[in-house]
Each structure stands twice: as C-alpha cells, then as structure tokens.
Amino acid sequence: MTEPVLLVEKQGHVAIVTLNRPEAMNALSAELRVALGRAFRELQADPGIRVAIVTGAGRAFCAGMDLKELGSGGEGASGFDKSVEGQDMAVALAEFEGPVIAAVNGPAVTAGFELALACDMIIASSNARFADTHARVGILPGWGLGVRLPRRIGINRAREISFTGNAVSAEQACEWGLANRVVAPEELLPACIALAQQMASCVPEVLKGYKRLIDTCYAMPFDEALRYENEQAIASARAISSAAIAARREGVFERNRAQTARIEAGARHDD
C-alpha cells in the first residue's frame, strides 16, 4: 500500500502536519501541495485545533519544489496554477487563524525555506540548514521568500542568502533571528509540541486575535499600527466581562508562580 504524502496527527488542540516523501527529501510535488492546502483548510474548519506544527519525515524538512516534476511542464507543475484544486497551499496556510510552528528537522531549501518562513515561528534541529537557490535554479520566488526573509533578518543578510544560494546553519539562523531556537534532533518535536500546548492553553479567541493583530500591525507604518492596536484593545475590552477576567487571573498568577519556582530551581542547580 502506498504511503500518503502528508500525515496529520492531532494531539488535543495541536495538529502535527508531516510532509511524508522522505525518499525525495519531502520535495513539494503537486500531490503534496494539494494535500497541504486541503489539510490546512480542514484544520481551519476544526474548532478543536488551535495550533499547528509543520515538519518533515526522514532527514529533510523540505528540499523545495519537485524539480523533476517542474521540468515536465504538466498541469500544476509550476505551483502557481490556480485551476488545480488546493494548489495554492500558501493561501490555505495563511488562512489558518492559529499559530503555526515550523519544526525544521533538516534541510529547508528554496520552496521548503518559503514554507518554513510562512509559519509563525521556526524551531530548528541542529541538523537544520536553510538555503535559497532560486537564483541558481533560474526562477523567482512566489510564496513570500523575497518579502518575508528581509523582514525577518534584515535586507543585507537576506541578499547574501538569496544572491549566493549558500546554506545557513541552524546556529547562524538562530543568531540572525531566523529561528527562535536550536535544539538537539531528538528534542525537536517534543519541544515544538510543548510550545504548541502552551499556546493552545491560552484563551482561544484571543490567541487568534493576537496573531491577526501582530500580522496586521507589522504591515503598517508605526503610528498607524499604534492606533490600530489601541482600537483593537478597546474592542477586546468591551467584549469581555470583568468577572471573566477575574476568573482567569488566579490561573495566570498560579502559572507565573510555578514558572518562577522552576527558574529559581534551575539557577540553584547551576550553582
């Protein structure tokens, strides 16, 4: 029986989406792109799912577009044929309202790099590598790499990556602010699941609203963004009762006390 090209596992309020073409380093074939688009539309329609994790099976996160298929010139091969059902996976990913974590377990190359950047944050295995080879393949990016990368790490560093096609290590990616953190390979998925569960424990509608607020404000001029945030804050405050805030306050205090205790215990252990 043929293995599916995409695996979706649900753990409580968290979905783990795994690219499953390990023999092809999870290259984005048309079938896989369609499956990704469908999966994220289904996750968006599932009220129980609040956070998603995207990762790759085997030794790679995603080696980019399936170049063999791309060279065939068949329908949907380019990745931008909107007539093919679910082809625009980038739209489906963007329309998912909850946080999306990229668990980058190995090479994330070109379109695979774009996929990681389309997520809200990147947690990298020490085996992760990031490379943009668009200029060497001979095509321009169309899923946001040319827009997101300069905003994430600065325009000059983005130019260095994209104009050379050179790979960036996990440690360099973290130093430049591309990855949130680097963990050992065996710790990658557990770390991402723990992070996702922490996010999923927040107030669901506010979690979605906060993601939308950050994304919207980031695209605005500073003064305009401040005004917009203030308007959203007022609307949010009016939508919730003081009793509801009071009911949640003790839970927040208790969590803060527990975190402080763990930090202090760790500090004593280091001593």
> How confident is the model over 106-130, as pLDDT tens digits?
999 999 999 999 999 999 999 999 9
Quote the pLDDT of residue 201.
96
60 DSSP assignment: -
**pLDDT of 81 over the 60 cut:** no
Instruction: Report the chain's mean pLDDT, rounded to a whole number.
Output: 90
Q: How far apart are CA 144 and CA 164, in angstroms?
A: 18
pLDDT (average), residues 232-256: 76
Domain boundaries 6-200, corresponding CATH code: 3.90.226.10
Instruction: Using CA atoms of 205, 207, 211, 213 in order, give the dihedral in degrees to the nearest 10.
Output: 60
232 Cβ partners below 8 Å, 6+ apart? 209, 213
Are the CB atoms for 146 and 155 separated by under 8 Å? no
Per cent of the chain over pLDDT 90 is 78
pLDDT of 32 strictly over 90: yes
Mean pLDDT of 147-170: 97
What Å distances lie between residue 37 and 4, 40, 65, 126, 241, CA to CA?
15, 5, 15, 28, 38
Mind listing the pLDDT tens digit for each residue in 168-188?
Answer: 999 999 999 999 999 999 999
Q: What is the pLDDT of residue 86?
A: 45
| pTM listed for this prediction | 0.88
CA atoms within 13 A on the CB side of 15: 24
User: Mean pLDDT over residues 75-80, rounded?
Assistant: 51
Tens digit of pLDDT for each residue in 40-52? 999 999 999 999 9
Q: Is the per-residue pLDDT at 67 higher than 60?
A: yes
88: left (phi over 0), alpha (psi -120 to 50) or beta: beta
The segment(s) of the chain belonging to CATH 3.90.226.10 are: 6-200
